[in-house]
Chain A
């Protein structure tokens, strides 16, 4: 029993560390932000679950339960971080439009942008509240949405390296 638990623990921890390593390789090698996000969340969560499962086989029951709690917490929070970062990436134009097969969000966003000037009141209030930066910001947003984010991506790149 003890030997079987040790062997199972060793196998689980090796597989988990391998999954973490593959996720990190994908984080370096993949070309753009959504692909890196994919490589960052799923193999890392799998690696964490496998390593902590292997660690839980070697400790007593209360500690093992706490380790499984950490795994559960990571499984809950990793999609939240992934969704928020992906949403932020789409907002600032870091997602290349030509790299996407299906872009359902873009089908909804121009509809909203068309109804905003038609409404009138929303645009007036926005220009009234934010005094100086409104034309620049709207230009940046239009640039980011329309050309698939190539210009906006260059803008982020300059910011990141400086």
Chain B
């Protein structure tokens, strides 16, 4: 079972590296918004792996909070990005 968790965390780590690459490289602000949203989802997924491995429920509310903050942040940045591009 530990090998399964190592494989899962390896794939999630590779996905995080690729997402951070897009976050740093992304040509426009909206690309970075998308990459940051994916990064937040990957954080929630990795916390879910923690919950499954240790059978520890103390981080489940953290997952809900992080998902909520990520949603609000993506919506706010998307709206502000289109406003800033318009005023140029």
Contacts and interface: CB of A to CB of B under 8 A. Distances in A.
Interface in A13-33: 13-14, 16-18, 20-21, 23-25, 27-28, 33
B28 A159 contact: yes
B51 to A, nearest CB: 5
Nearest to A13: B8
Contact of A36 (B14, B22, B55, B82): B22
B30 A73 contact: no
**Contact residues on B (Cβ < 8 Å of other chain), bracket:** 35 or more
B17 to A, nearest CB: 8
Contacts of B9: 17
The A contact surface, by secondary structure, is helix
Interface string B21-48: 1100011111111110110011011001
A77 B71 contact: yes
Contacts of B8: 13-14, 16-17, 51
A67 B27 contact: no
A67 B38 contact: no
A36 B34 contact: yes
Contacts of A41: 37
Interface residues of A, number: 62
A6 B1 contact: yes
Contacts of B88: 136-137, 140, 155
Contacts of B41: 20, 44-45, 47-48, 74
B72 to A, nearest CB: 9
A20 B10 CA distance: 11
Shortest Cβ-Cβ A-B pairs, 3 listed:
A55-B52, A24-B15, A17-B11
Interface of A: 6, 9-10, 13-14, 16-18, 20-21, 23-25, 27-28, 33, 36-37, 40-41, 44-45, 47-48, 51-52, 54-55, 58-60, 62-63, 66-67, 69-70, 73-74, 77, 80-81, 84-85, 87-89, 91-92, 94, 133, 136-137, 140-141, 153, 155-157, 159-161
23 contacts: A13-B52, A17-B7, A17-B45, A20-B41, A23-B38, A27-B35, A36-B34, A62-B57, A63-B60, A73-B71, A74-B44, A77-B67, A81-B75, A84-B75, A85-B30, A85-B74, A88-B78, A88-B81, A92-B82, A137-B86, A160-B29, A160-B31, A161-B27
